Structure 1
């Protein structure tokens, strides 16, 4: 019964928080962290027992895998140096700085446990940041660096996290041994992920059924994680490697029908997993705070503020030097790649919001040591982690758009121009193919006039980016939405009158949904009146 209650609470909370995020137009992680905080304040909520180790296994693989699928390998490789400096160097420095700060503020915390907190809050989550940046037309390289950083730093942070937890459990730690083991488990995890990716690519080519394909794809992240962990390699790096490799080959092996289906499945799964973790932390927060009675509230607040400030300040202190140091060392001769300007570096520094990975890692902390003693200061680590997440997500996330406008960053149209260039090339080929078929069939050219006009309208709509439509295009757009709305209403009328069966209704409704999904969006009121689809919660994955 408790499991069903938790599932019901999960679904109801996900619906409410998803609606709030859409209604107030901010990234859904902010709504989730606010919802989790609200649950923590609610009295008499039930407590659900769960195995902490299952959190990492159940939640992180699909989230990391989807992020890897959506990462452009070309852009990732082109920006590998800044991504590596942020995702590995900054994570290590943040782990040390946060751990030392906690040890300074609470001397009774063991060094290993202090570094556990440092590893937990070291990797920022780019979901909220990129959701905002994508709407504000930021330079493409900035978004690429942040997405690449978020992908790799989750892996590096979790590897450091496992080493720190192991040091707490065993009471022993050797820097040289840990460094060698870090390299081994990292390379081994990447190797396992690449191998499994090619195995699944071969299997995928033999399937041929969209439903089976989607179900098969859902097993990839869990298989990669468990396979790597079973041979004592990095499961998270195996998942990331598998996602990057398969994402590279996905356009060639994935059917259109499977892509459409998989997008909805992945978006729903990842959103529900995010919701689950924030709900669990909310349900536990009252007992966590209750177990911290030995700390005065002022001290808890000071610890939370200090750790958050250190995490934010270290990012600023790291970003600016590493952006300029390589060119200084090379005398600007060997480093021809353009670097972000100062205002863009401020934006990168401010995009340090912590999120789902940090929260899942905190919840996954063991309850006890091998001897049966409680894990040292587990409740304090969970409390501080949640405080850092809510402060950075809400504080930095909500102020990021204003900061971008204040710094006047966001005028690079390279991605838009590239899209126009590709659309023009595709349309030219399409028009040539139409002419070729018309000539071969020896039919009047005017028969294809409407199709050519539709292609021309597509080019015009892409050129306007859907933001500044001409009066004619606005009218055509409204007419298309109105036509689909009328078709949908008539389809429902015929179905309710029992003039058509359910199967025909569902098939035609799906066709209308796809047609509407490909139309430029109208204003909010118009979109609502035409039965717009669910909010876009996260990136799409094939």
Structure 2
């Protein structure tokens, strides 16, 4: 009897237990608990064969997770706060990578002669945000749709743009891209092409879903669309991440137009929610298992310093971006702080770290250890800080709703 799948079944059961038994998710979110459990599981020989690779994470887990987050995103809130989401997910992302890259480079020089381009690679890894760890807390603790919308919307956008940015920094680091100008043009083509593929795929699905009224067949079609859009974009060498995000956003807009379309959303919600929770359970446990081998090193103070500095820089970028927002999206300093703290690192950061494993060197081992350590610090410390920060903000501000 083949037992290779048994560890993964046990991981899923552990996820079920954690989600079921954790009645105080606001104090320590489930993803953080799962990562900690995963680290401990890495010392049990039975789980030695459990491994997550960059390709598995990117090609199997990410399309489903991004599709679910995008199609459930409110089109009304997206339209209302489009400026803040767009600015933070594009210009804000670029500024954060630039400032963080220089900061990482300067901080690491006394300890290791890390090239500037390598520091920018680490900055690109630690820039994307993952709201899965904090959105439930924000929704429960804070009746402020501006904050929750920007945190969630920014993550959807910067997941895609950060992957594209990392890909070009990676190619420059390995010497496979001729120059900055050509790389910049290719960046625009890859990003824009991914968006176009996603828009086209979402539009086709919104038409094809009317062919049948059986919800089971509609769910089957949604699986096909989520992955087909992703793989089509990758095949034509544009961003699969942005493609699946924008396909989901098109569906979100389509499903909000009438009662009939909302019925489609209800049918899909049940299935994709199960997929999301199941994937996240296995994934965060596997992240803990994968990270464990990189967490025993002598650079923890350096990793902590980088984590603190990058959080401060994110706060500064959020504050600067908020200064150019329209009045309806005006963000006070307390909300800026909460948005900054809510920028927890997660799945996309881990995928980018795993991409670096192909560059085996002593220098890269240091960078991998520091990157994994910073992600773990973010998952634990920032997640724990969300609940008290949100409660304090709620007491001092009137709720903002539609």
Whether these two folds match at TM > 0.5 is yes
Report the equivalent of 1:348.
Answer: 339
SS of structure 1 residue aligned to 2:156 = helix
* Equivalence map 1:245-264=2 (5 Å): 245-251=250-256, 252=258, 254=261, 256=263, 259-264=265-270
Contact 1:52–1:366, Cα closer than 8 Å, also in 2 = no
Q: Does 1:319 find its partner at 2:305? A: no
C-alpha displacement at 1:55, in angstroms? 1.7
C-alpha displacement of 1:242: 0.5
Separation (CA, whole Å) in 2 of partners of 1:310 and 1:59 = 30
Residues 40 and 285, structure 1, Cα contact 8 Å, conserved in 2: no
CA contact (8 A) 1:136 1:410 kept: no
Task: Output one character per residue of 1:334-377: Cα deviation in whole Å (capped at 9) or x when no partner.
Answer: x54351222222222222211222123323x15435xxxx3675
Tell me the alpha carbon deviations over residues 468-505 of structure 1, each in whole angstroms, 9 at most, x when there is no partner.
Answer: xxxxxxxxxxxxxxxxxxxxxxxxxxxxxxxxxxxxxx
Aligned partner of 2:191 in structure 1 is 186
Task: State the partner residue of 1:82.
Answer: 84
Q: Which residue of 1 aligns with 2:39?
A: 37
Q: How does 1:386-465 map to 2 (within 5 A)?
A: 386-407=372-393, 408-409=395-396, 411-412=398-399, 414-415=401-402
The number of aligned residues is: 394
- Checking the alignment, whether the CA contact within 8 Å between 1:226 and 1:235 is kept in structure 2 is yes
TM-score, scaled relative to structure 2: 0.88
Offset of residue 33 of structure 1: 2.5
Whether the aligned pair in 1 keeps the contact of 2:67 and 2:226 (CA below 8 Å) is yes
Instruction: Measure the CA separation in 1 of the matches of 2:305 and 2:45.
Output: 29
1:331 aligned residue: none
Query: Are the counterparts in 1 of residues 7 and 46 from structure 2 also a CA contact under 8 Å?
Result: no
Q: Determine if contact 2:341/2:385 at 8 Å carries over to the other structure.
A: no
Residue 196 in structure 1 maps to residue 198 in structure 2? no
| C-alpha distance 130-48 of structure 1, shift in aligned 2 (>3 A) | closer
- Segments of structure 1 that go 5 or more residues without pairing to the other structure are 291-296, 328-334, 416-542
Which residue number in structure 1 is paired with residue 173 of structure 2? 168
Query: Are residues 1:225 and 2:245 paired?
Result: no
- State the distance in 2 between where 1:342 and 1:24 align: 26
Relative to structure 1, the CA distance from residue 168 to residue 348 in structure 2 (aligned partners, 3 Å threshold; closer, same or farther) is same
Shift of residue 152, structure 1, vs aligned partner: 0.6
Query: Over aligned residues, Cα RMSD in angstroms?
Result: 2.6
C-alpha distance 286-339 of structure 1, shift in aligned 2 (>3 A): closer
Alpha-carbon contact 1:29-1:128 (below 8 Å) kept: yes
In the other structure, the counterpart of 1:443 is none
Between structure 1 and structure 2, the one with the greater Rg is: 1
- Any idea what SS the aligned residue of 1:138 has? coil
Q: Deviations over 1:447-480 (max 9, x none)?
A: xxxxxxxxxxxxxxxxxxxxxxxxxxxxxxxxxx
Cα 1:226–1:73 change in 2 (3 A) is: same
Does the aligned pair in 2 maintain the 1:362–1:381 contact within 8 Å? Answer: no
**Structure 2 partner of 1:429:** none
Superposed displacement of residue 171, structure 1: 4.9
CA distance in 1, matches of 2:39, 2:397: 33
TM-score (norm 1): 0.67
Unaligned stretches of 5+ residues in structure 2? none
Query: Is contact 2:114–2:363 with CA below 8 Å preserved after alignment?
Result: yes
Q: Deviations over 1:55-81 (max 9, x none)?
A: 211111111111111222232222222
> 1:309, 1:148 → 2: CA distance?
24
1:177 alignment partner in structure 2 = 182
Cα contact 2:88–2:318 (8 A) shared by 1: yes
Cα distance between partner residues in 2 of 1:24 and 1:195: 38
Match of 1:308 in 2: 307
Closer/same/farther in 2, CA of residues 30 and 377 from structure 1, 3 Å limit: same
Corresponding position of 1:54: 56
- C-alpha displacement of 1:141: 1.6
Structure 1 residues 385 and 276 mapped into 2: Cα distance closer, same or farther (>3 Å)? farther
